[in-house]
Structure 1
Amino acid sequence: MVFAVAGATGHLGRLVLDSLLDLGVAPGDIVAIGRDTAKVSDFVAKGVVARSADYSDRGALDEALAGVDRLLLISGSEVGRRVKQHKNVIDAAKHAGVGFIAYTSAPHADTSTLALAPEHKATEAMVRASEIPYALLRNNWYTESYVQVAEQAKYTGLIIASLGDGRIASASRRDYAEGAARVLVAEAHEGQTYEFAGDTAWGYDELAEVVSEIVGREVTYKRVSSKEHRKILSKAGLDMGTAAFVVTLDTNTRDGALADANPTLSTILGRPTTPLATGLAEAYAEAEASRAAEAEAQGEPDTPQ
């Protein structure tokens, strides 16, 4: 059985490769597909097969998926172009005779008002129409997404957002990766749609408490209106389109688009999902270590002067 991960060179993809190996899949039965295969050279050294392909290059995808039995399609990062790109992967999978495809989607993609949902909804429809046996993995937010929030709060003491009391059922990227790997290797998940999320939903007051512990200073969550938030983001240097997008995501969160905490992911993992405090502290420490190593390599101080 040959297992392929499309999008293997990204953060989630690399963790899926780790999980597949941890689950006992032979390295030679794993195909890592991505644009820059140098990013998985450490896995290649272990025996994993790397194949270069861009989601926009159907011909390269046909070659990359040759001989693959089960495929994980990690959603692309180019918002606005993903439907066409994902179609290329799905069509190539069908051409190659892939027997199963799992796709990383968004929470309640078929009904959500989340700004990112439409591309995922369209991709889910294409997966179903392909007639390839499938599973849809609707991942909630990644806890690691809040590292930048913590980094900013370290210097400002504030977390500013327009999501009010909205709650987020995040889990760590490693949780989602292990869940995807377990779905990929087992044959009991065909036809399933899984709402993957953390066991507990949290709000920004709780986030501020966690960040306070991580950065070693008191951090406060400041609620602002959508209009005020756009002005703040624009003054910080974001263009109007990006500022509007961020505010829209906050509005979605305020309206409950990310609040669905449930035990689906933890059931598949066979363990609880990683709590916010643990996941964010680990991700923050990794980011700090990476930044310090980069600064040392460049002969620069690792803290602002």
Structure 2
Amino acid sequence: MMILYVLRRLVAGLVLAVLVTMITFALLSTSFDDVASSIVGSGATPDLVEAQKAQLGLDRPLFTQYLDWLSHAVRGDLGLSYFTSEPVRSAIAARLGVTLSIVLAALLVTVVISVVLGVLAATRGGAVDRIAQGVSMTGYLVPNLLIAIALVYVLAIELHWLPATGYTPLSEDPVRWVTTITIPVVALMMSGVASLTAQIRGAMIGELRRDYVRTLRTRGIPTRSIVLRHALRGAAGPALTVLSLEFIQMLGGALIIEQVFALPGFGQYAFNASLQGDIPIIMGISLFGVLLVVGVNLVVDLVNGWLNPKARILS
């Protein structure tokens, strides 16, 4: 049953990827003339533009062009950049590692802080609860970009503790890698901590009021065991759903963060390709983005099914 469920989700994900890339290609088709003009240069004439479109195959029927791209994409060939002739697949893979290193680090820190704050706020209340709600309110109200600018000013310009821009790969220098991603990670995780802390706090309060918790207490089960082994497991399902949404939001937020900190990542690559109208790159990024989101949601659903068999049955 689980295998059938996974296969259904994979098929649905592939259908979604086809639909998204098809719509993206249809929208890009309105800019074929502009793309050809950009490649030819400032001295482009209508004849040169048409010749460039013919060379790129942009003069063919739209559906034929899309099927040609899709047939190559299925084989792992996403084409070459119109402007640099760089293979799109290898370029995206190289830059995706930079973005994922930031996003996954931000996600990990978000989970740790949110679980600690949410559980303590639900179980102890008082000052801890007010601190948790204050953190959530700050994350909701203050934009990530403003947080990033403030951190750069304080930690990089004034105190000189961390670099303001740039990126060092983990394989070259682990310590330098940590210093280069610290400010981007903190800026990226604030809204996630706000959402996830509030979700865990509310879910834990609800779990601790349920009948099975009272039964466990009457049997003399330690409070720590009840909270960590039972209530937290019950509250994890909704929190995982929020976490998957935060992952997607962080990928989008990386577009801005990478521009601010001059990071050679997926977001900056997508931004530059969009400005140039580099169609193979935009199509490749759309495909990678959809598959990444589908994969994350599938993993979250499987973990939810493991934590709560009822969720698997309802799915």
- TM-score w.r.t. the length of structure 1 is 0.24
**Structure with larger Rg:** 2
Structure with the bigger percentage of helix: 2
Greater RCO, CA 8 A, separation 6+? 2
Higher strand share: 1
Output the TM-score relative to the length of structure 2: 0.24
